[in-house]
């Protein structure tokens, strides 16, 4: 089995390489391979790939508000072109999307996990670009697999990619800073290690093309997540809960974006709880 991984130095890419093993993987990374340059796609045919897994993305949610073009190039046009290319070459294409394709239903506070059939009404340019990517990928290649996930953190091989929420909280606690964390946004933080293992499990079952939700089990606010990080890591900084509005980020995020895992459950695939995935991540940081 030959797996091509685009963005193998990123958080998820690094754990996918670890899960599949170096010997099964071909890496497609910048500067040699840039997803926004289709003239380089012929490189993808050299390794007789069974799967191409695209982890590249424009992930800077606030910056995307002022960079429509950048966000759409990476999150919509590039995956669509890759999907079309893979269809032509007989390579199974896998790419990732986000819980931010969902919005806030008018007049009610949602508290039920979203399933794959629920209507997407993204609130941000990032969410709109990822949603457009999903639609374009499946339009060009109905056999493609689009995995929506949420709140990723992991150990990227590329050190410039090491800036996730957990690492940031630990750094702020070490610096003894007062920390403001959003408490009115409910998510499921997800470790890329647990996601990568479950992606491998899902693909082994040869699922049909379409959208799949994959994140750790359970839910919490970013504030509760931060508090759990500090408890587990043995820090006691001053943490102040703030609303999204008070925090003042440029892009709007959904107040509740927990993903239902019922569909992957039908394949016998399940991720661990966010607490146990976090505990493993912190143990690994200590042993590094």
Ligand X SMILES: NC(=O)c1ccc[n+]([C@@H]2O[C@H](COP(=O)([O-])OP(=O)(O)OC[C@H]3O[C@@H](n4cnc5c(N)ncnc54)[C@H](OP(=O)(O)O)[C@@H]3O)[C@@H](O)[C@H]2O)c1
Judged by the rule CB under 6 A, the positions of this chain that interact with ligand X are 6-7, 9-13, 29-30, 33-36, 55-57, 59, 74, 96, 98, 149-152, 156, 158, 161, 192
Q: How many Cβ atoms from other residues are within 10 Å of residue 75's Cβ?
A: 30
- Taking the least distance from each CB to ligand X, the nearer of 57 and 80 is 57
Instruction: Please state the closest distance from residue 69 (CB atom) to ligand X, in A.
Output: 13
Instruction: Please state the closest distance from residue 130 (CB atom) to ligand X, in A.
Output: 6
- Taking the least distance from each CB to ligand X, the nearer of 150 and 258 is 150
- Taking the least distance from each CB to ligand X, the nearer of 85 and 234 is 85
Structure tokens at 180: 């403001």
Instruction: Please state the closest distance from residue 30 (CB atom) to ligand X, in A.
Output: 4
Q: How far apart are CA 200 and CA 269, in angstroms?
A: 10
Residues 6 or more apart from 105 whose CB is under 8 A from it? none
Structure tokens at 188: 């499921």
- Taking the least distance from each CB to ligand X, the nearer of 171 and 176 is 171
Distance of CA 105 to the CA centre of its chain: 23
- Taking the least distance from each CB to ligand X, the nearer of 56 and 183 is 56
Active-site annotation holder among 126, 131, 223, 281: 126
Whole-angstrom CA distances from 30 to 153, 158, 285 are: 21, 11, 27
- Taking the least distance from each CB to ligand X, the nearer of 172 and 187 is 187
Instruction: Please state the closest distance from residue 238 (CB atom) to ligand X, in A.
Output: 25
Is residue 242 within 8 Å of 181, Cβ to Cβ?
yes
Structure tokens at 26: 């071909």
Q: Determine the residue with CB nearest ligand X.
A: 10
Instruction: Please state the closest distance from residue 107 (CB atom) to ligand X, in A.
Output: 27
Angle between helices 274-287 and 165-174 (to 10 degrees): 60
Q: Could you tell me which of 211, 13, 191, 242 has the C-alpha nearest to residue 102?
A: 211
Instruction: Please state the closest distance from residue 176 (CB atom) to ligand X, in A.
Output: 26
- Dihedral sign for Cα atoms in the order 279, 148, 49, 9: negative
Whole-angstrom CA distances from 79 to 90, 128, 129, 146, 190 are: 16, 14, 11, 10, 22
φ/ψ (deg, to 5) at 218: 95, -175
Is residue 68 within 8 Å of 127, Cβ to Cβ?
no
Q: Is 126 a catalytic residue?
A: yes
Catalytically annotated residues: 126
């Amino acid at each position: 089995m030959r797996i091509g991984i685009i963005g193998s130095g990123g958080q998820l890419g690094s754990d996918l390489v670890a899960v599949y093993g170096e010997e099964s993987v071909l890496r497609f990374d910048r500067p040699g391979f840039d997803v926004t340059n289709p003239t380089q796609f012929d490189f993808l045919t050299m390794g007789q790939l069974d799967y191409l897994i695209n982890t590249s993305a424009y992930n800077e949610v606030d910056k995307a508000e002022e960079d429509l073009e950048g966000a759409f190039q990476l999150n919509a046009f590039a995956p669509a072109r890759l999907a079309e290319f893979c269809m032509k070459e007989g390579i199974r294409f896998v790419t990732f999307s986000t819980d931010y394709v969902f919005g806030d239903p008018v007049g009610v506070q949602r508290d039920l996990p979203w399933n794959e059939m629920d209507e997407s009404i993204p609130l941000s340019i990032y969410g709109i670009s990822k949603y457009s990517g999903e639609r374009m990928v499946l339009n060009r290649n109905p056999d493609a697999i689009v995995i929506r996930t949420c709140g990723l953190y992991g150990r990227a091989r590329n050190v410039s990619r090491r800036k996730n929420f957990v690492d940031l909280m630990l750094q702020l606690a070490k610096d003894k800073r007062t920390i403001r964390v959003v408490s009115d946004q409910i998510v499921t933080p997800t470790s890329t290690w647990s996601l990568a293992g479950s992606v491998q499990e899902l693909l082994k079952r040869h699922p049909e093309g379409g959208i799949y939700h994959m994140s750790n089990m359970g839910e919490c606010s970013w504030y509760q997540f931060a508090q759990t990080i500090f408890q587990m890591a043995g820090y006691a900084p001053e943490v102040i809960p703030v609303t999204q509005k008070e925090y003042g980020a440029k892009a709007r995020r959904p107040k509740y974006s927990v993903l239902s895992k019922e569909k992957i459950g039908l394949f016998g695939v399940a991720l661990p709880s966010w607490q146990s995935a976090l505990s493993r991540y912190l143990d690994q940081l200590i042993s590094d």
